[in-house]
Amino acid sequence: MFEEIRRNKFLSYIIMLGFLILIGILGGVFGWLLGSPLFGLILAAFIGIVYSLVAYYSGDRMILRMSGAVPVTKEEYPYLYHIVEALAISAGLKKPPKVYVIRDSALNAFATGRDPEHSSITVTTGLLEKLNRQELEGVIAHEMSHIKNYDIRMMMLAAVLVGVVVLLSDFMLRSFLWGGMRGSRRRDSRDTGPWLILLAIILAILAPLFAQMIRLAVSRRREYLADASAAALTRYPPGLASALEKIKNDPDPLVDNANRAIAHLFISNPFRRTRSYFATLFSTHPPIEERIRRLRAM
Catalytic residues: 143
Interatomic CA distance for residues 172 and 32, integer angstroms: 11
Residues 209, 17 contacting (CB under 8 angstroms):
no
Long-range contacts of 9-14 (CB under 8 A, 24+ apart): 9/150, 9/153, 11/154, 11/218, 12/150, 12/153, 12/154, 12/157
CB–CB of 128/75 below 8 Å? Answer: no
DSSP percent split of the chain into helix, strand, coil, nearest 5: 70, 5, 20
Classify the phi-psi angles of 85: left when phi > 0, otherwise alpha if psi is within -120 to 50, otherwise beta.
alpha
Nearest to 240 by CA among 127, 101, 151: 127
C-alpha dist (Å) from residue 280 to 255, 264, 274: 19, 13, 8
